[in-house]
Structure 1
Amino acid sequence: MKWSEICIHTTNEAIEPISNILHETGASGLVIEDPLDLVKVRENVYGEIYDLDPNEYPVEGVRIKAYLPMNSFLSETVNQIKISINNLMTYDIDLGTNQVSLSEVNEEEWATAWKKYYKPVKISKKITITPTWEDYTPLSSDEIIIELDPGMAFGTGTHPTTVLSIQALEEYLTENDHVIDVGCGSGVLSIAAAKLGAKEIFAYDLDEVAVESTKFNAEVNKLDQQIVVEQNNLLNNVNKKADIIVSNILAEIIVQFVDDAWDNLVDGGLFITSGIIQTKKQLVKDKLIQQGFEIIAVNEMEDWISFVAKKN
């Protein structure tokens, strides 16, 4: 399929309203090229790589890019976007140069362009995540390497919520533990659990793409015999006894299966939850305590929260 990239050269002030216009128009994907990102101070806790090319950024102002399908309505859609953007001036929003340009993009190139920004990342004391297409030499003999190709599934392994989950697994998982991964995405948490010594992992996700992605990544890491992957809605109709249940999903989803997590844990088992934004912290905490869990650890990274709760 052919796509058209619409590029608007504008100002920082106009980023939010123009982004909203593009979303309402039905644009798929949004890219913001802001030269301020080149000088932004970033945390470098575990050796993250921020490989930004100044040549891809405007000297001044920002470029907002969105992607529209090339069909018979394209010209009409672009004209409507231009009119809506120009109308922002009635609200005294500075549009800067307000240049709009179009270029053709091949879908295959677009779908894989992100790979050049995905580099090996050390996310905990022991674990480094590296994309399957990158050559990486371990820095020490005890370094654990996870090879990952997220494909179309959520989870490159570098998001704070994933990092928090893996750090909790590294601290609390013991050899031969049985683990359940709820909402496995690309399978990164299941693979981390296996490499940290878990005996058996059951990975569940409702999304068929995620299930296939987890199966693929388990095979790449030669762990497909340890990791059992199934399509399932959370823990519905699951009846197992796990030492650890780990779930990196949204807070609103976590609270829906706290009781099922309790039922599927051994006495003394741990429920590791992540994907919780600060504003939803109390919601999850209250639900865990109400169920009978003892919260033994609360970890934070940026705006995200992770709980480690024990079934007493």
Structure 2
Amino acid sequence: MAWIQINTVVSEAIAEPLSDAFMENNAASVTFEDAQDQPIFEPELGTTPIWDRTKVVGLFDAETNPQAIIQQLTQQVPEVPASAYKIEQLEDKDWIRAWMDLFKPMQFGDNLWIVPSWLEAPQPDAVNLMLDPGMAFGTGTHPTTSLCLTWLDQHAPKNLSVIDYGCGSGILALAAQKLGAASVVGTDIDPQAITASRQNAERNHENISFELVKDFDSEPVDILVANILAGPVKELAGEFIRLLKPGGTLILSGLLANQAEGLVNHYRDLGVELDTFEQHEEWGLLAGIRT
């Protein structure tokens, strides 16, 4: 099936109303793209950030009259003139196959692999997690996820208890379980993340409990890993310490490298010496022991 795209670049304030207008005009989908290379490193919890200049793209059936759509859009969102819209023809191809071809098996450390479920594991005897890209954060492609997976591979939690705090897709919980942990639990503030984590656990034939933070409780564990953001990592310090056994290991990621020093000082004052630092691109991982 062939498609056309109608797109334009707008300010942050216009992006959502324009998206709504696209959908009201029967767009098959609407996507947002960064129009000026503006990374968003640390959004507020519970928010969906949009760039200052955002490219809004509506996808339509090729039989659609794009000029008629643009005329409707200018009436609904008069801030955007008709001349600002661009129309692009998309070739007819198997979009699902093209999307699947973007993802390949990824290796972390020596023994850990993340493998899309439709592919064969490159090393069948290695520790393989079957994980498909989805809406919840965490498929191994982000530097912070990669840092955490590599750390777990290098410090396999054999016979230890683990909490994955901010589980996203459940990828770190699954890695810990497959690397020999005695028990693993996960939690997140996002119901979608809990759903994705449970589905991924089922796909990997692992029995792991995932609960929303509001419903979550756990006895102190040997290892707590939190791949979230620097702000919440700082705010949750007391909770993380409560959930760790004395002598337990805390692994923190989701932070920018230039935020590490402040977190090291903050946690030192609370009795956790974060003496390990790893960096990938501009992102960092901290690890240390609770005294």
Query: By the TM > 0.5 criterion, same fold?
Result: yes
* 2:141 is equivalent to residue 158 of structure 1: yes
Q: Which of 238, 254, 257 is matched with 2:233 structurally?
A: 254
* CA positional deviation for 1:296: 2.4
TM-score (norm 1): 0.69
Task: State the secondary structure of the residue aligned to 1:229.
Answer: strand
Verify the 8 A CA contact 2:74 2:81 in the aligned structure 1: no
Flag the 1:258–1:4 CA change in 2: closer, same or farther, 3 A: farther
What is the aligned partner in structure 2 of residue 130 from structure 1? 115
Q: Gapped runs of 5+ residues in structure 1? A: 9-17, 35-63, 86-98
* CA positional deviation for 1:74: 2.8
- 1:166-214 per-position Cα deviation (integer Å, ceiling 9, x unaligned): 1122223331100000011111000100111101101101211111111
Distance in 2, Cα, partners of 1:111 & 1:76: 34
Indicate the percent of aligned positions where both proteins have the same amino acid.
30
Task: State the secondary structure of the residue aligned to 2:101.
Answer: helix
Distance in 2, Cα, partners of 1:303 & 1:158: 14
Task: State the secondary structure of the residue aligned to 1:164.
Answer: helix
* CA positional deviation for 1:72: 9.3
Task: State the secondary structure of the residue aligned to 2:232.
Answer: helix
* 1:281-292 → structure 2 map (5 Å cutoff): 281-292=260-271
Verify the 8 A CA contact 1:180 1:202 in the aligned structure 2: yes
Corresponding letter in the other structure for 1:76: Q
* CA positional deviation for 1:81: 3.4
What is the aligned partner in structure 2 of residue 300 from structure 1? 279
Distance in 2, Cα, partners of 1:146 & 1:74: 45
* 1:1-312 → structure 2 map (5 Å cutoff): 5-7=5-7, 18=9, 20=11, 23=15, 26-27=18-19, 28-31=30-33, 66-67=57-58, 73-76=72-75, 80-82=79-81, 100-101=86-87, 114-138=99-123, 141=125, 143-224=126-207, 227-233=208-214, 238-312=217-291
* CA positional deviation for 1:150: 3.9
Corresponding letter in the other structure for 1:197: G
- 1:258-289 per-position Cα deviation (integer Å, ceiling 9, x unaligned): 11111111111011010101343233222211
Corresponding letter in the other structure for 1:257: L
- 1:218-275 per-position Cα deviation (integer Å, ceiling 9, x unaligned): 1111112xx1111114xx8634111000010011111111111111111110110101
After TM superposition, the runs of 4+ consecutive aligned structure 1 residues lying more than 6 A away are 68-72, 109-113
- 1:19-60 per-position Cα deviation (integer Å, ceiling 9, x unaligned): 6467465445335799xxxxxxxxxxxxxxxxxxxxxxxxxx
Distance in 1, Cα, partners of 2:116 & 2:172: 15
Task: State the secondary structure of the residue aligned to 2:168.
Answer: coil
* CA positional deviation for 1:76: 3.3
Distance in 2, Cα, partners of 1:6 & 1:269: 53
Corresponding letter in the other structure for 1:116: D
Flag the 1:65–1:117 CA change in 2: closer, same or farther, 3 A: farther
Distance in 2, Cα, partners of 1:111 & 1:291: 49
Task: State the secondary structure of the residue aligned to 1:276.
Answer: strand
Distance in 2, Cα, partners of 1:266 & 1:285: 19
Distance in 2, Cα, partners of 1:19 & 1:113: 28
Verify the 8 A CA contact 2:130 2:204 in the aligned structure 1: yes
Verify the 8 A CA contact 1:251 1:275 in the aligned structure 2: yes
* CA positional deviation for 1:116: 3.4
* CA positional deviation for 1:305: 0.7
Verify the 8 A CA contact 1:205 1:232 in the aligned structure 2: yes
Distance in 2, Cα, partners of 1:259 & 1:171: 27
TM-score (norm 2): 0.73
C-alpha RMSD of matched pairs (Å):
3.5
